[in-house]
Structure 1
Amino acid sequence: MSISTKLRCLNKKLAALSITVLTVWLPGQSSGLPQSEGDIRSLEAGKSVERDLAAGQSHHYSFVLEPGQYLRMIVEAKDKNVMALLVAPGGKRLLREDTRYHATRVLSLTWVTEESGSYQLEVRSPDKDVAAGRYRVSFEELRAATDQDKKRLAAGLTFGEATRLRGQGGQSTAESLRKSIEKYKEALQLFRELGDRNSQAHTLNRIASVYESLDETHTALDYHTQALSSYRDVGDRLGEARELYGLASIYRELGEYQKAIEYLNNSLSILRTLGDRRNETFVVMSIGNLYSLLGDNQKTLNFYDQGLSLFRATGDRGGEASLLNSMGLLHLSENEYQKALEFYNQGLAIYRALGDRRGEAAALSGLGRVHTSLNENRKALEFYNQALRLYGSAGSRRGEAYTHLYIGRSYFLLGEHRESLDHLNRAISLSRALKERGAEGASLYEIARVHRAMGNLIEAQSHSGAAIDIAESLRHEVPGSQLRASFFASVQRYYRLKTDLLMQMHKQRPSERLDSAALETSERARARSLLEMLAEARADIRQGVDAQLLERERSLGKLLNARAERQTQLLSGTHTPEQAAATAKEIESLLTEYEQVQAKIRANSPRYAALTQPRTLSLNDIQQRLLDDDTLLLKYSLGEERSYLWAVTRDSLASYELPKLAEIEAAARRFYALARRADSESAELEEAAASLSKILLAPVADRLGSRRLMIVADGVLHYIPFAALPSPDTRRPLIVRHEMVSLPSASVLAEMRRDLTGRKAAAKAVAVFADPVFNTDDPRLKPESDKSLSQSGRESSSRDLERAMRDVGVGERFTRLSFSRREAQAIAAIAPAGQVMKALDFEASRATATGADLSQYRVVHFATHGLLNSEHPELSGLVLSLVDRQGQPQNGFLRLHDVYNLKLPAELIVLSACETGLGKEIRGEGLVGLTRGFMYAGAARVVASLWRVDDAATSEVMKLFYRGMFNRGLRPAAALREAQVEIWKQERWRSPYFWAAFTLQGEYR
C-alpha cells in the first residue's frame, strides 16, 4: 500500500470528526422489530436512558408522534460501538446511524413526521464478537416542525444519500463516487440557503474527500481550503484539525513535504489541546507514514508504536488495520520478512471483516511485496492480481499504478521481460496522469533494469536518467537536512544503476570516455546534505529569521541537553523499563521537534531563499579546482553486481571494475575487526590487509607512485584506515609513501574552499582540552568540597554515573585519561610561546568549549573520551568535566547538535578521543557524526579516530604530529603521515591498532 493511499484512507476516517448531519435514508426497508410489545420500552421527550448492551443484542424504544412534528434524539456510545435505527409505524426504516463511522461516537437523529402512530428507535450492537458496552439515549427535542426544519431535514437526507453513494468501508466505485459528489453539492446549496455554516464546512470536507478518492488532487485541495476557512470562521477547532490533516495529505501528494509536516503538527497540537485521543491517533499515524516515505525508519517506528496503542485503546478496528499494514511495510523495508507477513495478515483479516475493499487490496499488495523480496514471485503475483482487481472495482487508480509497478518487478525477476514492460508502462501512464512522481520514478528505474537485462543499454540509461531527474526534484522538496538525507538514501539505487550502465557502455565503447559521466553520476549521489549544509553555514541563514523562532530553536537545544542528562540520572538509579522507554521516547520527540523548527527556519529565512544550491563537480572541475600535480583522487562506488574505482589526476582519468559489494564488504569487515584490536595475530592481520589491498589498490598500483591519496570511500569502506593497507608493490603500509586524506565527496572539498578563500587566520596557535574531571572521587576535588558532598556521597554518585554509562551503552566508567595531560603539556611545549590555551581539569568544560574565545585559535585539540550514538548522531559527542570544583554534577557533554551551533573557523580540529570519526551510516551520505559537525562549524580539516585508541600511543602520535606542524612547518596531512610512520617503525606499536585509527578529513593543502 502506498503512503499516499494510507493517507487518503486515514483522511476518510478523520473526515467523520464532529459530523452530526451524516444520516443514511433507508426508504421502504423492513425493520425486523420484535413482535412482542413486552420487548419495547417507552421513551418520552426530554428523558434519557443509559443501559448496557451485550454483543449481538438489540434494545427497542417506542414513542407516539403526530404528523408535522420535529424530533431530535442523541445516542452516545460510552465504550463499544452501537447502531441506531429510526422506524416509522408499519416498520418502514427512516434513518440508520453507526458509531463506527463517527469519530465522536455520538449519533444525532432528526426527523419531521408525516404520519401519526407509534415510532420506534432500535439500538443494536454491530459487533457480534465484542464484550458488552454501555450507551445513553436522550430524547432531546419534540415540537411542531417549521419550514426551516423541513428544509434542514431535506438537506440532511440529501447529505445522507451522498454518503450512502460514497460507501462506507471502501465499498465504493468510481461511478458511485461521482454521484455522491453531485448529492453533496446539492446538500451544500441547501445548507447555504439555511445559513448553516457548520454543515457547509462539513459538506465541503466530504466533497474534498471524495475528490481525493478519485485522485483529483488539485480539486480536493480547493475544497479542503474552503472547508478550513469555514471551520475557522465558526470556531470549530475539531473541524479545523480535520482540514489541516486533509491538506497535509494533499500536500504530501504534491510532494510539498515541508507543508505536509507543518499541517500535520498543527492538527496534532489542536487535537491534544482538545484531549481527543481517538483522532490524535490518525494524525500520529500519518506523521509516521510520512517519515516512512522519507526513509526515516526510527521516527516512523516511534509514531507507529504510539498510534497502535491509541487505536487499540479506542477500539478503532479500521485504523488498527491501516496501521498494521504500515508496520508490515516498515518491517519489509528492514528486511524483516516474517514480521512483515504477520502484520500484513493481521491487517488483511480486519479489512475483510470490515468489508473494506481498498484496505484489503493494500494488505494483499503488501503480502505480494514480501513474497517478491523472498524471491517467491509466482506467489507474489497471485496476491498482486487480487489487489489489482479490488483497486479497479474501488476506482483507485493510484492503487492500480503501484500494483502494476509491483507486478512488473515480479515479472522482471522471473525473466519475463515483455510482461514486465507491459505492466511497468501501465504504471508509468497512470502515475503521470495522477502526477504521482514517486511511483513514476520507481517505474522508470524498473524499466531501466529490464532494458539492461535485455542488453538495451542506451534505452536503460535514458530511463535511469529520467528516474534520477524525478528523485532530484522530490529531494529538493523534502524539509530539513536529516529528512533529505533519509529520502536520498532511499533512491540511491537510481544513481548506482545509471553509474553501472555508463560503465558497461564505456567497456563497449571506450573511446567515448563514458567513465567520466559515470564518475559524475556517482559524485551526484554523495554527501549532498553535507554539501548543502556547508553552503548554509557560509550564508548564515539565521539572519533575518523571526526572533521567536530562533529562541525556540535555542530553548529546544537546552531542553534536549537537559533531557539527555536526566536520562543519565534516571538510568543511574533504580528504574523500570517503562520509565527508561518513556524517557527515550521524550528525547525522540524533542529531536523531531528540533528538526522541525530548523526546517521552519530554512523556510522563513530570506538568505536561505536566495541561496543557490551548490552543484556537484564535473570531472573537469575536480581536475582543475581540487587536484594539484602531487594528488591522486581514488573514488569508490560499491554495487550489488559490480563495484567501480576511478583514479583521477590533474590530467588523467582511469577507471576499474571491482568485485561486487558482498565480496568487498566481507574483506573490509574482516580487516577492520582485526585492525582495531591490539591482540590480533600478526599473520592473520597481514593476510586480511593484503586481501583487501588486492581488491581496492592492486588495479591502480601503477598510478600510485608517491602521490598524496585523496580517498572518497563508499559504504563499509568509510570504516577502513587506508593508511594501514599494504602498498601493492612494497607490501609496506600506504602511509609510508603517501599522505592520506579522506573526503565524503570531492564536491564537499570545493564547497569548503569557497568558505576558506580569503579567511583571515586566527591570531593564536592552539587551544587544548585535556584531562577533564569525570568522577566525584577524583583527587583533584578540593577538600572543602566535603562540606557539600561527603566522601561516601561522592563514591555513591560516581558509582551511579558508571552504572548510567553502562546503561546507555558506554560499557565502562569514564576513567581519568592520565596520558592526555602529558599530551597537552607536550603540545603546549611545542607550540609558539604565548599562543596556547590549556583547558585542563575543571577548565576542560563544556562552558569553555562553547565560549567565543575559542575562535581565536588556529588549532583546537580535544584529548578526552568520545561518545558514539549511532542511532541518534545528534547525541554523540565529547565528554568534558562532569563535576565542578565543588564536586557538584554539571553538564559536561558537548553533543553534535551543540557543535553545529558553534562558530569555529579553525584551520584544524583534532579529536583525540575514541571513535570520533564514526557516526550513523546513511546510504549516499556516509558517516554522519562529529567530523561533519566541526566542518559545519567552520573547520578546514578534522583529525578523528576510527576505533578506541590506546591513550599512551595516542599521546605519542599527537606529540609527533604537532612537532611536525609547529617545529617543521609541515601541512597537517604531511605531519600526520610522519607521526604515524614514526610510530609504525617502533616494534611495540607496529600494529595498526596503535596508529592507524587517526584519519584526516577535509583540506589537504
Structure 2
Amino acid sequence: MNKLLFHLFWFAFFLTPTLVLSQNCLEQLDSANYYSKTDRVRSLYFADQLISKLDSGLCQREVGYAEAYNNIGLIYLGFAEHNRAIRAIQNSLKEEVAQYDSLSPGLIKICLNLSVAYQNNSDYLAAESYLLWADSLVRKNYSEQSPIYLDATYKNGLFYMEVGQYEKSRSQFERALRLTSQYFSENDSIKGALLTEYGTLLRDMGDYEEGEVALNQAIEALKGKNEVMHLRALDRLAAIKLDQGEFSASENQLLSNLQLKKERYPSDSLLRIETLNSLAVLYFRINDLVTSEAYFEDLLHYAGSRIEISPYVTNNIGAIYSKKRDYRKAFVMFQESAAAMRELYGGVHPDYANVLSNLANVQKSLGDINSALNIYMRVLDLDKTIYGPENPRYATTLNNIALIYQAFGYVELSEKLLLQALKIRKEKLGEKHPMYAKSLNDLGVHFLNKGDTLQALEHFDEALKAEIHHMQSVFPVLTDQQRQLFFEDIKFNLERFASISFGKRYFETEWTEKVYNYYLNTKSVLFYAADKMRTTMLENPDPVVKNSFVKWREAKYMLAQSYLLSEHELTLRGINIASLEEQCNNLEKKMALLSSTFSSQSELSFYSWQDVEKNIADSAVLVEVIEFRNYSFKLGKLGAEQGFDDRSSYVVFILQGGSNQLKRIKLDGSEQLVDQYTFYKNSLRYGLEDASSYNVFWKKIDNELKTDRKVYYAPDGIYHKLNPAILYDSATEQYVSDKYKLVHITSGKDFIQGGKEAANKLNTAAIFGNPDFTTLTLTSPLNPLPEAEREADDVTDILQGGKWKVSDFYYLSATESNLKLNQDPGILHLATHGYFEEDSKRQSALLNSGVYLAKDKSTEDDGILTAYEAMNLKLDQTRLVVLSACETALGTVKNGEGVYGLQRAFLVAGASNLIISLVKVNDTATKNFMNMFYSEFVKEHSIEDSFFTARQRFKQQYPDPFTWGAFILVSKK
C-alpha cells in the first residue's frame, strides 16, 4: 500500500512579472489569469488566444514577450497541460536568450518553471538539466541572502526528493533551512513550507523521529499564518503517525483535516487528495477494506485521470484485491501501476519499487515463486540505492526474500535475512511497531520449521506483547466493527501461541501462565472496549460530550430498527441503510476519540494473573475457561501453511484468593465434550438422569475447589451453553450448587475493571409483563402470557411492600418505546417472550436474539427489542435486569468474546447484574421463582444472596434440574 505525496511549489517569487504589451494582449493575459481560479475553459481560451498573438508577433515586441510566454506557461501548468506549458516556457526561454544572453538572470525563473513542467511530464533528465542551469545562474548572479537563491535551493530539494535521490535532497533542504534561519527568520510561511517538505523527506528516509520534530515545527510556524500550508503540514504529520502504527492520532488528524477542507475550500477538490489517500491507507491497515475502498473511490473521483495520481490509486486498489485474495485482479492492477510508474519516474524511484514489491507478493500468492524472487531481488537493489541498507523498507524486502528462501528450503540463509530485517525494524521502528511484531512472528514460524519450539515461543511471545500494546492504543478510536476486523490477526497469533504452550512439554511451565495473561488482556476485549467508552462518556463533566453521546445512542436505535425492515419498507420510509451506518460510525468515532482523550492511563495497562488474584477475596475463587484449537504447521512450496483443527479443546485456570497460585487443568477429548453436551441437553429436555456430564465437564475442576467458597465462573466456547450448577456428582450425591455458589462473569478482568455495583438510591423499578403481541407484525402469532402478567403483579406488590417506587407496564403499554423511555431504573424486569435464532444469517449477531414487547403505533419502534437495541439502553444506574423469558441467556458464542446476545447487550448498556434463562420453563414455575427471589431481595438487599437462597427454596419445590437450574446470575463483579 503506497503513499501519495503532492509536492507543490509554494514560493512564487517569479509568478507575477510586470508586462508591457499592447492593451489587447494585456487584457487577454489578465483574463486568462482571472479565470484560472474559477473557469478552466475560459482561462484556456484567453491563454490560447494570447499564445496565437505572441507567436504571430501581434503584441508589442520591445519588452514583455518572455514574461508573457512564461506566465501563460504557468497557467497551462496549473491545468496539467504539460506539453503546452513546455512549449510556452521554451518560447519564453528563446525570447530571453535572444534579447539578452544565456547568462541572463532573467533565465532563472524560466529554467525553474521549465524544470517543473518537464518533471510533471515525467522527463526527469530534462527537468534536472534546467534545474542545474537555473542553479548555476543563481550562484553567479545572487548572494545567499537573496530570496531567489533560497527559492532555487528549495526547488532543488523538492526535485531530488521526487526522483528518490534522498541524500541530495537532504543536503539541499538543510542548506535552505540554514539560509532561512540566517536571512529570513521572520518569514514563518517560508520556514513552515521548508520544514514541511524536509519532514516529509525524513519520513521517506525512514527517520520518523526527526521527521516528526520537523513537521511539528512546521505546524507551529504556519499556525495562523497560512491555513492551506498548515493543513498540508498536519497531513504529513498524520502520515508519519500512520507509518509508525499510531492509527488513533493519525485518523483523528486526517478526519479533522478532511472536514475542514470541505468546509473552508469546497471548490478545491484537489486539496483533499492527500488526506483521502492517507485515510484509505489507514483503513486498509486495520483490515477495514470496505471503508478503504470507499476512500479510494472518492480519490479517483476528485483526481480524475491525472497521470501523476492514477498510478497510485491503481496500486492501492490492487492491494485491496490482494487482501481479498483476488490475486489475478490484483496482478493486473499492479502491472498497470508499475508500467505507469516507470513511465513517470524511470527505473529508479521509491514508488516504482513499492509497486514492484506488491507485484512480487501477488506472484508468490499465485504460485510463481521464481518470478517473485526475481522481482524481489530487483526491489532490494532499488531499496539499497534509494534508501540505504538500514531503512525499514529495505528490511521489508529482506524479510520477503527470506520467506521465499524458506520455501526453497534454504533454512540458514532465510534465518540470516530474517534476523537482519528484525534488527533494522527494531532500531528504526521500535519494539511496539506492528512491522517489528511481524518480523518476530515470521521468525517464530521459521524456528518451528527448524524444530526449535522454545525459540518459536520466545518470538511469538514478544510479538504478542507488541500487538496487544498496539491494539490497546488503537481500539479507543475504532468503531465496533473495525475493532472486530482489527482483532482477527491477533486472535490467530494468540491461539497459535496457546496451542503450542498447552502442549505436554510446556503445560506446567511459565508458558501456560503467559497464555492466561494474554487471554486476560484480550478475552472479551470487544465487550470491554464498548463498556469503557460508555462509562467514560457518562462520567465526563462536559455537557457537550454527554449530548453527543446521546445522539450516538439515538442513531444506533434507528439503525437497529432499520436492519429489521424489508427493502420495500426501507424504500417507503426513505431510509438509506448505508447513510445510517455512516452516521453511526462517524458519531461513534467522535465518542471514541473523546473517550480516548479522557480515559485513564490504566487503559494501556497489561494485566497478569497476579493482578487478578490480589482482588479476589480469600473466601472466593475464580474458574476461567479458555477455548483453543490445535495448531497445525507445514512448509509448502508457497511457504508456511498454518491453520487449526475444527474441533475445540479447553484449559481451565483456577485462581483462589490469597493463594498466590495459578492452577490449570487441560480437558482433552473435544469429541467427547461435544457428544456429552448433546446428551446433557437431551437429558434436561426429556427428564433423563444424567450421571455422566459432571464427570466430563466439571469433575477435574471440582477436585481443585473448596466447597465453602463462592465461585466466580468465566466460561468460554461450549461452556457458555451449560449451567455447571445443575451437574450431579453421583459419588457424593450432590449437585454442584449444593457445594458452592456459582456466579457467572465475563472474564477474570472483571476483578480489576468491573467496578462497583450500581446503586440507584431512589429504589425505582420498571416492570413489563404480558405485552399485547397482536400489535406486532409476525409470521407466526405469539400466545398471550397470563402467568407473566400475574408474575409482574406479584413482583410489583413485593417491591412496593419493600418501599420501592414501581412503574408497571402491561398489554398495550408494555411497548418497546416505553422501555427505552425508562432510563436507569434500579431494577428492570421483563416478563415476556424471548427469541434466539441460532442459524440466523443476519448482518449482526446481536440481531439474532431479543425480546418481544408491544408496538406503539405512534412511534417507529416495531415492538421487538433486539440485543443490538438493548446494548444502547441507558442502564448505568441499574443494579439488576431480570429477563423472565425463555432462553434469554443464549446467543451466538464467539471464541474469546463470549455470548453475543442479550447477556452481552445489557451488560454493555450498564446493568451490574442479570438474571437470565438458559432454557424455556413452565410459566407458573417461573412466576414462583421470581416471587421467591424478590421476597428475599426486599429483606436481604443483596442480589447474590437473594438469588442463591431463592434457588435453594425453589429447588425443593421443583426438584427437576431442568426447572430449578433454568436461571443463572451474571454479574459484572
**CA deviation string 1:571-613 (max 9, x = no partner):** 4448499x87xx33322322232222223333443xx336576
Displacement after TM superposition at 1:453 (Å):
3.6
* 1:424 and 2:423 are equivalent in the alignment: no
User: Is the 2:816–2:853 Cα contact (8 Å) retained in structure 1?
Assistant: yes
User: Alpha carbons of 1:705 and 1:565: their partners in 2 closer, same or farther (altered >3 Å)?
Assistant: closer
Q: Which amino acid aligns with 2:490?
A: V
Cα distance in 2, alignment partners of residues 246 and 617 from structure 1? 38
Query: In 2 relative to 1, CA 401–60 (structure 1 residues): closer, same or farther, beyond 3 Å?
Result: farther
Q: Is the aligned partner of 1:818 residue 2:783?
A: yes
Cα distance in 2, alignment partners of residues 588 and 976 from structure 1: 44
Secondary structure of the residue that 1:745 maps to in structure 2? coil
Residue aligned with 2:214, SS = helix
Q: Are 2:628 and 2:649, in contact at CA under 8 Å, matched by a contact in 1? A: yes
Paired amino acid for 1:471: E
**Are 1:634 and 1:710, in contact at CA under 8 Å, matched by a contact in 2?**
no
Match of 1:768 in 2: 767
Contact 1:67/1:113 (<8 A) preserved: no
Other-structure match for 1:294: 286
What does 1:248-397 align with in structure 2 at a 5 Å threshold? 248-273=238-263, 274-275=265-266, 276-295=268-287, 297=288, 300-312=289-301, 314-316=304-306, 319-333=309-323, 335=325, 337=327, 340-341=330-331, 343-345=333-335, 347-355=337-345, 357-370=349-362, 380-395=372-387, 397=391
Match of 1:462 in 2: 458
1:736-885 correspondence to structure 2 within 5 Å: 743-748=745-750, 751-752=753-754, 754-756=755-757, 767-772=766-771, 778=775, 813=778, 817-820=782-785, 822-829=787-794, 833-835=798-800, 837-851=807-821, 855-857=825-827, 863=833, 883-884=855-856
State which of 182, 194, 210 in structure 1 corresponds to 2:201: 210
Secondary structure class of the residue paired with 1:849: helix
**TM-score, normalization by structure 1:** 0.69
Structure 2: give runs of 5+ residues left out of the alignment.
16-24, 33-41, 98-103, 123-140, 633-643, 801-805, 938-944
Quickly say closer, same or farther: Cα 1:250–1:711, change in 2 above 3 A: same
For 1:59-78, what aligned pairs fall within 5 Å after superposition? Answer: 62=55, 64=61, 66=63, 72-73=71-72, 74-76=74-76
For residue 311 of structure 1, report the CA deviation from its aligned partner.
Answer: 1.2
Q: Separation in 1 of the partners of 2:322 and 2:114?
A: 51
AA aligned opposite 2:750: V
Partner residue in 1 for 2:930: 962
Q: How much does 1:740 deviate?
A: 7.6
Structure 1 pair 838/206, CA: closer, same or farther in 2 (3 Å)?
same
Structure 2 partner of 1:584? 577
SS at match of 1:508: coil
Distance 2:209 2:224 in 1: 23
Name the CA distance, whole Å, in 2 between partners of 1:371 and 1:696.
49
Compare 350-359 and 371-380 and name the one that shifted more: 371-380
Per the alignment, residue 224 of structure 2 pairs with 233
Partner secondary structure for residue 380 of structure 2: helix
Q: SS at 1:656's partner residue? A: strand
Q: Could you say what secondary structure the match of 1:655 adopts?
A: strand
- SS of 2:223's equivalent in the other structure is helix
**1:163 counterpart = 2:158:** yes
Cα separation, 1, equivalents of 2:770 and 2:96: 83
Specify the code of the residue in structure 2 equivalent to 1:404.
L
Distance 2:239 2:334 in 1: 23
Q: How far apart are residue 308 of structure 1 and its match? A: 1.8
Instruction: Give the Cα separation in 1 of the matches to 2:608 and 2:925.
Output: 35
Work out whether 1:647 is the aligned partner of 2:652: yes
Candidates 202, 212, 216, aligned match of 1:221: 212
Determine the structure 2 residue equivalent to 1:782.
none
> How far apart, in 2, do the equivalents of 1:413 and 1:222 lie?
42
Question: How far apart are residue 268 of structure 1 and its match?
Answer: 0.5
* Offset of residue 240 of structure 1: 2.8
Match of 2:165 in 1: 173
Q: Aligned residue for 1:783?
A: none
Q: Does 1:636 align with 2:638?
A: no
Secondary structure, counterpart of 1:172 in structure 2: coil
In the other structure, the counterpart of 1:903 is: 876
| 2:651 maps to amino acid | W
Which residue identity is paired with 2:970?
Answer: G
Residue equivalent to 1:499:
498
Q: Which amino acid aligns with 1:910?
A: L
- Summarize deviations over 1:766-805 as a string: whole Å, max 9, x none: 6433455677xx4xxxxxxxxxxxxxxxxxxx9xxx6xxx
Q: Which has the higher contact order (CA 8 A, sep 6+)?
A: 1
Answer whether contact 1:452 1:501 (CA < 8 A) is retained: no
Deviations 1:711-741 (A, max 9, x none): 6455x648755779999999x9x99999986
Residue in 1 that maps onto 2:444: 448
| Secondary structure, counterpart of 2:814 in structure 1 | coil
8 Å CA contact 1:647, 1:700 repeated in 2: no
Could you tell me how far apart the structure 2 residues matched to 1:934 and 1:667 are?
A: 29
**Post-superposition CA distance 1:553-572 (Å, at most 9, x none):** 32343345456667878944
Q: Please state how far the C-alpha of 1:839 moved relative to its aligned partner.
A: 2.0
2:587 to 573, 586, 594: 594
Q: Secondary structure at the match of 1:267?
A: helix
> What is residue 131 of structure 2 aligned with on the other side?
none
Distance in 2, matches of 1:486 and 1:825, equals 46
Write the letter of the residue equivalent to 1:259.
A
SS in 1 for 2:75: strand
Name which of structure 1's ranges 266-275 and 550-559 shifts more when overlaid on structure 2: 550-559
**SS of 2:212's equivalent?**
helix
Distance 1:823 1:706 in 2: 38
Q: Compute the TM-score of the two structures, normalised by the length of structure 2.
A: 0.71
Q: 1:524 to 1:654 in 2, by over 3 A?
A: same
The aligned residue for residue 36 of structure 2 is: none
Q: Note if contact 2:96-2:106 (Cα within 8 Å) is conserved in structure 1.
A: no
Q: CA deviation at 1:272?
A: 1.1
| CA positional deviation for 1:269 | 0.9
**Equivalent pair of 2:376/2:401 in contact (CA under 8 Å):** yes
Please list the CA deviations of residues 453-493 of structure 1 after superposition, one character each: whole Å capped at 9, or x if unmatched: 43434433333332233234323422347466654443234
Query: Map of 1:656-667 to 2, 5 A cutoff?
Result: 656=666, 658=668
Which amino acid is 2:652 matched to?
A: A
* 1:263 shift after superposition: 1.0
**Aligned to 2:550, what secondary structure does the other structure show?**
helix
Structure 1: how far apart are the matches of 2:367 and 2:935?
63
* 3-state SS of 1:843 partner: coil
Q: What CA deviation, in whole Å up to 9, does each residue of 1:105-160 have, x standing for no partner?
A: xxxxx9935999xx9999999899xxxxxxxxxxxxxxxxx999x95555444333
Instruction: Give the 3-state SS of the residue equivalent to 1:746 in structure 2.
Output: coil
Q: What is the distance in 2 between the residues matched to 1:77 and 1:399?
A: 33
Q: Could you say which residue in structure 2 is the equivalent of 1:32?
A: none
For residues 602-657 of structure 1, the C-alpha deviation after alignment (integer angstroms, 9 at most, x for no partner) is: 3443xx33657676452795598279689855432335337653334558834337
Closer/same/farther in 2, CA of residues 880 and 345 from structure 1, 3 Å limit: farther
d(CA) in 2 for partners of 1:242, 1:268: 11
- Find the aligned partners of 1:65 and 1:658 in 2 and give their Cα distance: 98
Kindly state the Cα deviation for residue 968 of structure 1 after the two structures are TM-superposed.
8.7
Residue 907 (structure 2) pairs with residue 935 (structure 1): yes
C-alpha displacement of 1:833: 3.0
- Deviation string for 1:387-427 (max 9, x for gaps)? 33333333272222223333334444555432332122122
